[in-house]
Chain A
Amino acid sequence: MNNFRNFSIIAHIDHGKSTLADRLLERTGRVTEREMVMNQILDDNPLEQERGITIKLHAIQMNYIAKDKSEYILNLIDTPGHVDFTYEVSRSLAACEGALLIVDATQGVEAQTISNLYLAIEAGLEIIPILNKIDLPSAETKIEDVKHQIIDLIGCKEEDILMVSAKQGLGIDEVLEAIVKRIPCPKGDPDAPLRALIFDSIFDSYRGVIVNIRVFDGTLKEKDKILFMATGMSYEAEECGVLYMKRSRTGVLKAGDVGYFIPNIKTLQDTKVGDTITLLHKPCEKAIEGFKIVKPMVYSGIYPASADDFESLREALAKLLLNDSSITYEPETSSALGFGFRCGFLGLLHMEIVQERLEREFDQNIVTTVPNVRYNVVKTNGEEYFIENPAQLPPTTNISEIQEPYIRAQIITPTEYIGNVMKLCMDRRGIMKNTTYLSADRVDLHFELPLAEVIFDFYDKLKSTSRGYASLDYEYLDFRPEDLVRLDILFNGEQVDALSTIVHRSKSFYLGQKLCSKLKELIPRQMFEVAIQSAIGSRIISRTNIQAMRKNVLAKCYGGDISRKRKLLEKQKEGKKRMKQVGRVEIPQEAFLAVLSIDD
């Protein structure tokens, strides 16, 4: 066990986490150079590669012969790099004894890095600070400044900071030596009752669920009866082993090990990240702390574009749930969109990923509604419940209070953009809590914000208002009563439930007007005039008209034009299929997300 080192990497997007990981794998001979051509081995999902982020966790074992001539076994446990997945990050960190903190020498410390770093420090991890991209010309002037940011943050000495260029392969040996020398070896008793942490589980269509664990105490052998302490379920370990580039069966995992086991489970729902496993017949006394059931923060309706595809969408969601246990979905009905599902996500990015996977991997043609948070409604009769869809809001006269979720947001920005960032947060009903200068030109701002204001393009706005320099991290705070109303949209006097949103009263008038004109832009002319109205309760607050279509006909259709015209018609028919018929009005899918494209 003395030769084991379990560590993870903390870094902001694009600060070079994947490249450094690739170098470590290369230097320890875990991958050949030819495999390296594939580049960035950890992010192997095409969606991950496109977005430059890690969505699913990975773990990999390396063998390293150190300068002291002894061989070490290094387990790298990768973490997802987005604010939606904070809990998963905390569980990965809990499986390690140390973490590499990578900071881009040209950029400096970002918000998310800080919050993950705090998670690591809280978990008692040894931090190895690394300054990456030192070879870039633009790093030269910033290196000293960024070094000081790091020293301020973790209280290390300047000489503790490793200077690396992962891209050029500079300083990689120093990183490996530091892992061996500075990170403590795992402690634990192989003879004690089994106690292991689930930090990830994946679904394999041939093997079912594969659970990735870190063993703290005891020994796990194949054929052992395993108890999942939080869910109370038990299964037999059919296979276990360690994780190289692929799974490598060893038949046994001992205290200190990071590896996998296959329990013959058909759905990921039964394996919760953060749960502790032990032996059914010789259980440990206490589960590992920190287990939580992750609740969705953001909800959105997902409907089949064509009503015939409802069943196929249901199947796709069920399959998706097999390898993403954080999604929730419940069937719901909308008078505008028909039968569909109300789905819950960890955050906006998670929502986008799920929608994209449904379309790409499961070939679903879907219509999604504007995302919303969950609200706690207190009725005049004292009854109190959560709603996940604005349409579920009871009539105003029955409502005594609506509470909405607040978050604590941490934004790190160069000082020149403080004004812009503050204005954005104030516009979004933010309450400023704290300001800390990280250096002369970087500041850490703390705000309390309604989550609902953040899920509407807040992140994009933050980026554009700071030329991409500001970074954001947030955590859930509490529910607070606010003056909220439901903004409804009517087409020719008929309410379109899928377009209703819950907004703050102070913004309702402005939003109502903007939404009407945006819809006018997005909805093509119909064969009759369409009146678009926005309303709060029975009060109409704005109105606009879409003029009736006047001409839609191709002038010429002779012998040589007929085939072409027929093919064009077929195409247009497909286009019409992507429209949703609400009453007699045909609405393109983008219109259901109109509120997201309103410019402030």
Chain B
Amino acid sequence: MAGIYIHVPFCVKKCHYCDFYSEELHSNLRTNSLRESPLAISVFVENLVKEIELTNQKLDREIEINTIFFGGGTPSLLNSEQLDTIVNQIHKSFHINEKAEFTLECNPGTTTKEKIRSFIKLGVNRISFGVQSFIDKELEFLQRIHSPEEAERSIIDAREAGLNNISLDLMFSIPGQTIESLDFSLNKAISLQPEHISSYSLIYEPGTPLYYDMMQKKIKIINDEDDASFYDYTINFLTKAGYEQYEVSNFAKEKKYCQHNLNYWNGGEYMAFGPSAHGFMDNVRYWNVRSLQIYNTKLIMNELPIENSEILTDPEYFSEIIFLGLRANGVSVEFVKVRFGIDIMLTAGKIIQDYINLGLLIYGDDKLSMTVKGYPLCDEIILNILNQIKI
């Protein structure tokens, strides 16, 4: 059982807050039909196929794939022929479970109903739209290329194309945002009835132009108090609207969690393809080079484009299992006991009981997990628990 992550490193325009690796496409893709994609994408697809093939050759075992996730960048910049080529290679190399979740990230404004239909034909059964906000000014601040109307249109298109697992990304603590504008975006979002919503606090990632602007004090950032209020508001709003919070920033209706992400958070294995992608197989975390040029060169020379890797020691893996689990839908106490020989309910029992009494943690059915009240204090809680356990 494993997941597959494919990183498509292209964007029409880079957003100044984003620290994912991607290259800007310089041709005017927005007005041209997307059937004519530039040479760069074709070269990438060719090498990606090679990377999948090479990886498969090096594997010494059959691996069943349960989730496929195309992230980026902007995967929806691929045309259906290109996606077809990639999917074909995946099927050739691995055994894909027939119920596998197959997600593609889309930027509103880069899709049409026809294109979504063609994606569905190739097996895509979940689309995640990077909406961020339904307020013009906020989208402008984030330098997104789409308008609120285009976002709405894309989601309706996806629905009409027959998709029954749609996710939206939203963002809060955007400079200039107010509780009212956040409320507006949340209302708009739930009116479109997506199965899944991710809502992130805007992060000022070092190395991004936005981070630089913040350091230069060119923008008025949302203060910690308001950020906390926005987060509380989001959690309350979505929970009331029937979305279950199953991770710090993720909410789902009817248990339609993102299986691919849950696999990350439950310590599962995943393969990675494309520049800058991270994989985790056989206790080894590895990552590809963060440069399209080096990526292409390596693969032309029939080398895997892995930049580096680390073997997780037991304490490291333990700490990941705990913090990822607690950030998401809980840690299996039994799994930890069997894998590491530690009963966290005993070794950190006092502090865990403290948090349970405070209504921050909940324990039941072998799972120790955050409550809605606990998520905002997640990092503090995790740190205090980990500090109680020596491994």
Chain A residues in contact with chain B, CB under 8 A? 527-528, 549-560, 562-563, 565-566, 569-570, 572-573, 576-577
11 of the cross-chain contacts (CB-CB < 8 Å) are: A550-B377, A552-B377, A553-B379, A556-B200, A558-B261, A558-B264, A559-B272, A559-B280, A563-B310, A566-B316, A570-B319
* Residue with the highest number of chain B CB atoms closer than 10 Å, among A550, A553, A573, A577: A553
Chain B proximity of A172: nearest CB distance (Å): 53
Within the complex, the shortest CB–CB distance from A213 to chain B, in Å, comes to: 53
Chain B's closest residue to A572 (CB) is: B383
B203 to chain A, nearest CB (A): 6
Contacts of A549 in B (CB 8 A): 377, 380
Is the pair B376, A550 in contact by a Cβ cutoff of 8 Å? yes
Contact A562:B310 (CB < 8 A) given known A527-B358, A550-B225, A551-B224: no
Q: How many residues of B contact A (CB 8 A)?
A: 46
Asked whether A565 and B276 contact (CB < 8 A) given A555-B249, A573-B383, the answer is: no
Q: With A556-B249, A559-B280 given, is the CB distance from A566 to B287 under 8 Å? A: no
Q: Provided the pairs A550-B225, A558-B261 are in contact, do residues A576 and B387 lie with their beta carbons within 8 angstroms?
A: yes
> In the complex, which of the residues B200, B232, B319 contacts A569, with contact meaning CB atoms closer than 8 Å?
B319
A550 CA / B264 CA spacing, docked (Å): 27
Q: Knowing A550-B225, A565-B323 touch, does A555 contact B382 (C-beta < 8 A)?
A: no
* CB pair A557 B324 closer than 8 Å: yes
B327 at the interface (CB under 8 A from A): yes
Return the contact of A553 from the options B20, B316, B378 (Cβ within 8 A): B378
Contact indicator B376/A560 (Cβ below 8 Å)? no
Cβ-defined contact, A560 with B277, below 8 A: yes
- The smallest beta-carbon distance between A513 and chain B, in angstroms, is 25
Chain A minimum-CB-distance residue to B3: A559
CB neighbours of B5 from chain A (8 A): 559
Q: Is B45 an interface residue (CB 8 A)?
A: no
Assess whether A555 is in contact with B285, with CB atoms less than 8 Å apart.
no
Contact of B323 among A528, A569, A577 (CB under 8 A): A569
In the bound complex, residues from chain B placing their C-beta under 8 Å from that of A573 are 383, 386-387
Q: Flag whether B196 is at the interface (Cβ < 8 A).
A: no
> Which residues on B sit within 8 Å (CB–CB) of A566?
316, 319-320, 323
Known: A527-B377, A528-B358. 14 other contacts (CB 8 A): A550-B228, A550-B377, A551-B224, A552-B379, A553-B376, A553-B378, A555-B249, A556-B200, A558-B264, A559-B270, A559-B272, A559-B280, A566-B319, A569-B382
Q: Which residue of the partner chain A has the closest CB to B375?
A: A553
Q: Is B46 part of the contact surface with A, judged by Cβ < 8 Å?
A: no
Name the interface residues of B36-93: CB closer than 8 Å to any CB of A: none
Q: How far is the CA of A549 from the CA of B324 in the complex (A)?
A: 21
How far does the Cβ of B344 sit from chain A's closest Cβ, in whole Å?
16
Partner of A555, one of B20, B201, B225, B272: B201
| A516 CA / B383 CA spacing, docked (Å) | 27
> When the two chains form their complex, are residues A560 and B278 in contact, meaning their CB atoms are under 8 A apart?
yes
Q: Are B278 and A562 in contact (CB under 8 A)?
A: yes
* Pair B377/A555 contact, Cβ less than 8 Å: no
**Residues in B neighbouring A558, C-beta threshold 8 A:** 261, 264
Map CB proximity to A onto B266-284 as digits: 1 under 8 Å, 0 otherwise: 0000101000111110000
Task: Considering the complex, give the chain A residue whose CB is closest to the CB of B378.
Answer: A553
A563 to B278, CA, bound (A): 10
B227 at the interface (CB under 8 A from A): yes
Residues on A with C-beta less than 8 A from B264 are 557-559, 562
Whether A559 and B279, one on each chain, are in contact in the complex, defined by CB atoms closer than 8 angstroms, is: yes
Question: Which one of A528, A556, A557, A569 contacts B383 once the chains associate, using CB atoms below 8 Å?
Answer: A569
Chain B 220-252 residues near chain A, CB threshold 8 A = 224-225, 227-228, 231-232, 248-249
Output the least CB separation between B115 and chain A (Å).
25
Expressed in whole angstroms, the minimum distance between the Cβ of A176 and any Cβ of chain B is 58
Instruction: State how many angstroms separate the Cβ of A307 from the closest Cβ of chain B.
Output: 14
Cα of A577 to Cα of B388 in the assembled complex, Å: 11
Q: Is the CB of A557 within 8 A of B248?
A: yes
By beta carbon, the residue of chain A nearest B316 is A566
CB of A560 within 8 A of CB of B249, answer no
Bound form: Cα–Cα A527–B382 in Å: 12
Task: Chain A residues near B376: list those with CB within 8 A.
Answer: 550-553
B169 to chain A, nearest CB (A): 10
| B72 smallest CB distance to A (angstroms) | 12
Q: Which residues of A contact B387 (CB under 8 A)?
A: 573, 576-577
Contact between A551 and B228, CB atoms less than 8 A apart? yes
Minimum C-beta distance from B323 to chain A (A): 6
Partner of B231, one of A551, A560, A570: A551
- Write out the residue numbers on chain B whose beta carbons fall within 8 Å of the beta carbon of A562: 264, 278, 280, 285, 320, 324
A455 to B379 Cα, complex, angstroms: 41
Q: Write the chain B residue with the least CB distance to A568.
A: B379
Interface flags, B12-41, vs A, CB<8A=1, else 0: 000000001000000000000000000000
Q: Shortest Cβ distance from B327 into chain A, in angstroms?
A: 6
In contact, A551 and B383 (Cβ under 8 angstroms): no
Residue from B227, B232, B272, B377 whose CB has the most chain A CB atoms within 10 Å: B377
In the complex, A527 Cα to B386 Cα: how many Å? Answer: 16
A554 touches B379 (CB 8 A): yes
Q: Assuming the A-B contacts A558-B264, A562-B324, A572-B383, are A551 and B272 also in contact, with contact meaning beta carbons closer than 8 angstroms in the complex?
A: no
Closest to A570 in B: B319
Task: Tell me the complex Cα distance, A557–B327, Å.
Answer: 9
CB distance from A485 to the nearest CB of B (A): 36
A551-B376, A551-B377, A553-B248 given as contacts; is B324 within 8 A of A560 (CB)? no
Closest CB in chain A relative to B15 CB, distance in Å: 14
Whether the Cβ atoms of B323 and A553 lie closer than 8 Å is no
Cα distance A527–B354 when bound, in Å? 11
Lowest 10 CB-CB distances: which A-B pairs, in order? Answer: A550-B228, A551-B228, A553-B378, A559-B278, A555-B200, A560-B278, A555-B201, A551-B376, A552-B380, A552-B379
CA–CA, A412 and B247, complex, Å = 67
Within 8 A of A (CB), among B356-373: 358, 360
The chain B residue with its CB closest to the CB of A548 is B377
Which residues of the partner chain A approach B360 to less than 8 Å between Cβ atoms?
527
Contact (Cβ within 8 A) B377 A553: yes
Minimum distance in angstroms from A465 CB to a CB of chain B = 33
Chain A residue nearest to B247 in the complex (CB):
A557
Instruction: Determine how close the nearest CB of chain A comes to the CB of B235; give it in whole angstroms.
Output: 11
Contact with A along B300-317 (1 / 0, CB 8 A): 000000000010000010
Shortest CB–CB separation between residue B2 and chain A, in angstroms?
Answer: 12
Which chain B residues lie closer than 8 Å to A528 at the CB level?
358
CA distance A551 to B227 in the complex (A): 8
Contact of A556 with B261 in the complex, beta carbons under 8 Å: no
Q: Complex Cα distance A258/B5, Å?
A: 79
A569 with B386, Cβ < 8 A, contacts A551-B228, A551-B377, A555-B201 known: yes
Most buried by B among A554, A555, A560: A560
Chain B residues within an 8 Å CB radius of A563: 278, 285, 310
Q: Give Cα A560 to B274, complex, Å.
A: 12
Q: Which residue of A lies closest to B280 (CB)?
A: A559
Chain A positions within 8 Å of B382 at CB level: 569
- Complex: chain B residue closest to A558, CB-CB: B264
Task: Name the residue of chain B whose CB is nearest to the CB of A575.
Answer: B383
Given the complex of chains A and B, what is the CA–CA distance between A570 and B360 in angstroms? 22
Name which residue of chain B comes closest to A586, CB basis: B384
Across the interface, A556 reaches (CB within 8 A) one of B203, B224, B380, namely B203
Q: What's the nearest-Cβ distance from chain B to residue A1, in Å?
A: 68
Name the residue on B nearest A561 (C-beta): B278
A527 cross-chain contacts in B, Cβ below 8 A: 358, 360, 377, 380-381
Chain A residues in 8 Å Cβ range of B225:
550
Chain B residues closer than 8 Å to A555, beta-carbon distance: 200-201, 203, 248-249
